Amino acid sequence: MDRFDAAVIGAGPEGLVAAVTLARAGLRVVLLDKADAPGGRAATHEFHPGFRASLFADELPAIPHRLYRKLNLARHGAILSPAPASVCVSSEGVSLLFADEARLSRTVPAAALPGILAFRRETEALQSAIEARAFLSPGPLQRRWFRAVPGPARAASWPAGGWGAASLADALAVRIAEPHLRLHLAADAVSGRAVSPFLAGTALHALAPGVGRSGQPAAGLGRLAVALVRAAETAGVAIRCGVEVTDIRVAHGRATAVLATGQGQIEAAAIISALDLRQTFFNLVPWSALPAAAVKRAERFRMVGQRARVLFALDRPPELPLARESPDAACGPIHVAESLQALSQAHDVWRVGVIPHWPLVTLRVPSFADPRLAPIGKAVMTATISAVPTSLFDGNWTDSRRAKLAATALDAAERAMPGVSALVLGHQIIAGPDIEAALGVTDGDIEGGELAPDQVLGFRPFGGAQWQDGRTPVQGLYLAGPSAAAAPFLLGVSGERAALSVAADFKSGHLR
């Protein structure tokens, strides 16, 4: 029987960060994952002979610079660089928004520029406020999300009147007049999610955008995963893959051990779960160990699958017409969307379990940034289809439905990059159930819970100060996964916070 100071369940980015933080604090840490290789959401897999890609997402929330430096990720090979631009193709035309202000001013109409810059500045100020608050430690965060913080983040206290409960359409309408640019910015915000931009509370998505946030690894998410794994190995974390945790043992209200396939019982004073809230509470911990109130609140936590992905192996790199003038335009996300109305319609049918006809499709060609993902001369293209339900109202995911999804993705790709369908060598379709099976996330919700005003920041996973640092009602069990407070906004922070709580509890004698 093994005995460790801490066991971390799930070797995704959050779990890795938690394990590194604990190991550096001098604790003996074991990291368990049911997949064959660590990396979780960020890992890269071969989906077609010779072609590799991140299966579930092209981008995750940005890893904060402070954490990046602390973990020494540059030395381990993850170089961060923002996506240079994003492209939006709709029936009204094509628009290109550069991240760089000088280049932006050359491509958008002069009248629209101030609005876009104002929009960016406001969202960035709020994001840095959130980031600043995420590191105010130790102690409960709940109150602090709402208090003004000193310094530049001060102006952007949360919840901001316009951002707290407004609709995304309104938030865009007051700043930007051109419908096409509104659509472009909305697509950046909600890519990969099912959102009706006209409903209250959706402005929030602009603060936790699906794509386009600066600070992604230059060579794809897989590189970030590799760097985090190297950091963990360097710190002395015992990583055990292919090990599925089936139970968390609770005795006298205290988590004492995990049961893992092929490993038997692994005892640990502290257990950090980097799985989502439902998996942790409902599948791992015996119900009787949890207070009834906590069970009820966890039941009400809304988790719904919102995306599907199609990965394409291409015979040669596709051609984006815009990229002839600005070659790096093709390195960022390429949205194919109809209108804000269509986003709303897609959300509408998604709610009742129907695959939308005209969903928002976000295309990426990751092999532009990292040619090693494909054999020489060939390319990888991914399509993220938003508002695809995990459970369909009229039955299962049949092959014909999957094929239709691939056709939808290819149609969209054809609109943005004419001629691309002739290049396809093979494809893989990843629908909600596949994400659920591969990552073990409830309902295939890779983001660990719907992003709504009552489910973010101080209210995630539940409102209340005692929840904020990853602690749970079970002593010795900590939550670090995507359902934790900062997860939709920042990568790794919830893992670090949970680890810091563990370290603090060891110090104060709560854990032995």
Partner 1 sequence: MIRHPGRDRYDAVIIGSGIGALTAAAYLARSKARVLVLEANSRFGGASETMEFAQGFRAPLLSHVAYALDWRAVRELRLAEHGLAFAQPNMKMVALRPGGKHIVLPEKSFRRRTSFAAQAGQEGLGYVAFHEEAVRFARLLRPLWDGTLADPRPENRDETLTTLIRRLRLTPADAERLESLSRLSAAAFADRWLENDALTAALSFDVFPSGLSPQEPGSALVLIWRYAQESCGRQGAVSQILGGFTALAAALEAAARKAGAELRSSARVSSIIVEKRRAIGVTLADGEMIPAKAVLSSLDARKTLLDLVPVGSVGFGTAASMPEPERIGTVQIMLALTGPPPIAGLGAGDLGGRVVIAGRPETASEAKGAALNGRMPEEFAIEATVPTAADAALAPAGCHVLSALLPYMPIVVAEGWDACRAILRKRVLATLESFAPGLKDRLVADCMVVPGDGKHDMADFRSSFWHMLASYEARIRTPIAGLYLCGRTSEPVNAVCGRAGRIAAGLVFMGSSHQTGSP
Residues near partner 1, by CB under 8 A: 142-143, 146, 155-162, 164-166, 169-170, 173-175, 196, 198-201, 300, 341, 344-345, 347-348, 351-352, 452-454, 458-459, 463
Smaller CB distance to partner 1: residue 79 or 174? 174
CB of 126 to partner 1, least distance (A): 9
Entry field: residues in the chain: 512
Q: Of 448, 401, 76, nearest to 230 (Cα)?
A: 76
Smaller CB distance to partner 1: residue 440 or 458? 458
CB of 179 to partner 1, least distance (A): 11
Helix (H) or strand (E) holding 170: helix 168-173
Residues near 33 by Cβ (< 8 Å), separated by ≥ 6?
9, 10, 11, 12, 15, 40, 239, 240, 241, 242, 243
Smaller CB distance to partner 1: residue 85 or 166? 166
CB of 345 to partner 1, least distance (A): 5
CB of 343 to partner 1, least distance (A): 10
CB of 180 to partner 1, least distance (A): 16
- Percent helix, strand, coil in the chain, to 5, is 40, 20, 40
**Rounded-to-integer distance, Cα 484 and Cα 125, Å:** 22
- Is residue 414 packed enough to be buried (19+ CB in 10 Å), middle (13-18) or exposed (0-12)? middle
Smaller CB distance to partner 1: residue 317 or 359? 359
CA dihedral 337, 338, 340, 346 (to 10 degrees): -80
Main-chain dihedrals φ then ψ at residue 140, nearest 5 degrees = -65, 140
**By the 8 A CB rule, do 277 and 301 touch?**
yes
**Rounded-to-integer distance, Cα 103 and Cα 105, Å:** 5
- Residue 294 tokens read as 């906590």
**Rounded-to-integer distance, Cα 90 and Cα 316, Å:** 25
Smaller CB distance to partner 1: residue 129 or 363? 129
Smaller CB distance to partner 1: residue 184 or 460? 460
Smaller CB distance to partner 1: residue 273 or 455? 455
CB of 327 to partner 1, least distance (A): 36
**Rounded-to-integer distance, Cα 213 and Cα 264, Å:** 42
> Helix (H, G, I), strand (E, B), or coil: what is residue 396?
coil
Sign of the C-alpha dihedral computed for residues 497, 503, 507 and 512 taken in this order? positive
Smaller CB distance to partner 1: residue 247 or 454? 454
Query: Which stretches within 301-355 are classed as H helix?
Result: 340-351
Sign of the C-alpha dihedral computed for residues 475, 492, 119 and 386 taken in this order? negative
Main-chain dihedrals φ then ψ at residue 247, nearest 5 degrees = -155, 150
CB of 155 to partner 1, least distance (A): 8
CB of 267 to partner 1, least distance (A): 38
Smaller CB distance to partner 1: residue 24 or 347? 347
CB of 391 to partner 1, least distance (A): 15
Smaller CB distance to partner 1: residue 196 or 279? 196
CB of 422 to partner 1, least distance (A): 35
**By the 8 A CB rule, do 369 and 81 touch?**
no
